[in-house]
Chains A and B, each alone.
Chain A
Amino acid sequence: MRVAVDGIDVEVADGATVLDAAGAAGRWVPTLCFDERQAPFGACRACLVGVEGSAAPLPACTTPCRDGMAVATEDPAARRVATAVVELVLSELPEPPASHTELAQVADRLGVGEPRWPGEVHPKVEADTRHPYLAFRHELCISCGRCVRACDELQGTFALTATGRGFGANVAAGLDEGFRASACVSCGACADTCPTDAITEVSLLP
């Protein structure tokens, strides 16, 4: 089927999402919870776009394409909300994300400024460094679910879970006992996909 993204016509397969179509058209859509190796999740809402005929913006990652659909990646309302969402995410971290992280890069590209809604940040807890190859800094977690899904969908190990709810949401390994005591097989898929450095790879060797 044919979809127009910002006026660029692209041919996409049945079952393609709006995010797939934007990719085919070479148009950038901000994402935080998306990883092309995983099933779309629809949590971060940074990928909102305008779709002709829809009164409100729609998330590109979970919206299926329809033939003849017209998509505007820079729809003003969509971009306003996406920017606000990334601003909210930055405001929950106790420190700005490192510049190499996906979160920092998305925030930079969207031009996110001073937080309009500052407030409580995730409490700093002692970094979990008991595992030889993986380190956990819970206060940098933005609950995007990518590590949990990597462990589930890519590795089939199910060593990670989302925890808590609302603002208290986070992730944990096993029964919150750290990577080392959990079912973790040290594949590193979680660290590879993490957009904030909440989970990172470390080395035993100097």
Chain B
Amino acid sequence: MSRNLVELVRRHHALDAPTALDVLKQAVELRGELTDADRREAAARSGLPEATVHGVSTFYDDLLQPRGARHVRVCTGTACFAATGDAHVDALRSAFGIELGERSEDGSVSLAETVCLGFCHSSPAVRDGDTIDAGPDVVARVLAGTCVAAPEPAWESTLAEPVLTRPGDWSGLARVLDEGVAPEALLEEVTAAEIRGRGGAGFPAGVKWGFARASEGDEKFIVANGDEGDPGSYIDKYLMERTPERLLEGMALAAYAVGASHGFVLVRSEYPLSKPALEQAASAARSDGWLGEDIHGSGFAFDVTVVEGAGSYVVGEETALLACLQGLRGTVSARPPFPAQSGLHGMPTVVNNVETLCNVPFVAARGADAYRALSPGAATSGSKLVCFNERFARPGVYEVSFGVSTRWLCEELAGGLREGRTIKALQIGGPLGGILPAARLDTPFDFDALAAEGCMLGHGGILAFDDRTSMRDVARHLLRFGAHESCGKCFPCRIGLQRAQAMFTGDAPVERERLEQLLETLELGSLCAHGGGMPAPIRSLLKWFPDELGLA
């Protein structure tokens, strides 16, 4: 990230100016597309150079797809693909007579692609204007103009005493402030609890906080990563919408431990209900004295700003997320420096996933030992939220202990597949993780056990492909996603994913040796987990379903 641009943004932030991205988003919402006048205005209001703003305006999906009087966004995420094989996309293209990313000539309607609306429990999903509808008859309702809000998923805990599915109550922060727990002591407790990051990498939260606490800076920030872009995952969505106060409490505790006084939540724009829910909870927390100056007479001050993204998967990577938060292009930066040393506005910053932060209030209220006891005998402490796609009989979000068998999750908890279908394979934790064939369903659901199968716990989304699915179609679907979402910074990912996608386009045989050489280049060469991780599902398919891939 350009240090000069970061400094320019920091100076304007101090003036409470909007970011360039904020201004551009408003212009698109108002007029349906961007003009150079909009870009010049965004530059003037954000303090950024015009060229920089132009670069931002060509990066995000939300700014690139023109909007008609009626703007229809069709979900092309993996759960919707698993449900229909993209038939819902084709039906809308043909009915409207326009391609994805196009607007009709008379401007009455536009069709846009959106990658995962988080209604994977009820696929396929379509957003018509402000209404997100989902389910097998959604296309008919879109065409009849009768969309209704999609049903909400199940939200249940299998624990004797729910932790993450319960509304937050600020009891963790209350204990810390009432008992005068020192920030160092809270940091020690969180470190002892061994909260592994729930966003994919599994890095211990306490260690990350320790780095940020030790870093020098005029100010420090807590950033909640609410850019849950993994298609098939809708866990953070419901944490933000159903228990937003728990997330805010987790952020306040992180701030207390590392010495920060402000926090930001970056919410993806595909979740239009999340930002209002968080803002309402923040407003209530301010009224109740849990956010703001001198919280409950303790002298501790902390507040939170909620910011919405603009359509980019890679913005879920922490350096890209910080770039987006500053209104810049959401590209990845090489580390070091790590955000804990130099993050938002160049200051020490903790970036934690939403679910990770939602674990913190329990640790603060009940201690590390109680937290570890949530998953007895498992390698990982705490509990985990998992979610299932529409193929399952009882899709929804469930809180479980680590270490349970994947088979139990799929067959008992989620009730197996609907309509008598059987599981062919699972994709767990998003597109950067491997694919688990039905034969390996007895794998324990935990970080290391899944990693041993070439898979990843990731966000905890469990997505089933049923027995009718063509695995070559799965490869094509995933690589198309990968190439579309590459931020374009590092060469292996920028070019390599385009080439990998091309190898699976059409019906031509795929030369296995050439493919594997390309996968190695992506794995070892890429700057971040996007290019580095996209080969994982393809490796799984090569291992378990080679006969279906059309290899040569």
Chain A residues close to B by CB (< 8 Å): 32, 39-46, 48, 56-57, 59, 62, 64, 77-78, 80-82, 84-85, 88-89, 91-92, 116-117, 119-120, 142-143, 145, 149, 152-153, 156, 158-169, 172-177, 182-183
Contacts and interface: CB of A to CB of B under 8 A. Distances in A.
Contacts of B483: 166-167
B315 to A, nearest CB: 11
Nearest to B505: A119
Given A39-B3, A166-B487, A91 B520 contact: no
Interface string B484-505: 1111111110111111001100
B400 to A, nearest CB: 32
B399 interface: no
14 contacts: A42-B490, A77-B520, A84-B525, A85-B491, A158-B51, A161-B52, A162-B488, A164-B58, A165-B331, A166-B487, A167-B486, A168-B488, A169-B494, A175-B40
A2 B220 CA distance: 34
B5 interface: yes
A91 B500 CA distance: 13
A34 B3 CA distance: 17
A80 B499 CA distance: 18
B397 to A, nearest CB: 31
B488 A166 contact: yes
A43 B527 contact: yes
Contact of B495 (A64, A91, A156): A91
Given A42-B527, A45-B526, A153 B495 contact: no
A91 B514 CA distance: 15
A81 B503 CA distance: 19
Interface in B349-367: none
A166 B51 contact: no
A158 B521 contact: no
Contacts of B52: 158, 161
Contacts of A59: 334
B209 to A, nearest CB: 23
A142 B491 contact: yes
Contact of A42 (B334, B487, B521): B334
B441 interface: no
A165 B58 CA distance: 8
A173 B488 contact: no
Nearest to B520: A81
Q: Chain B CB within 10 Å — which of A48, A92, A117, A176 has the most? A: A117
A82 B527 CA distance: 13
A142 B520 CA distance: 21
Contacts of B489: 43, 143, 145, 169
A120 B521 CA distance: 19
Contact of A84 (B55, B329, B521): B521
Q: Chain B CB within 10 Å — which of A40, A82, A91, A158 has the most? A: A158
Interface string B190-207: 000000000000000000
Contacts of A169: 488-489, 494
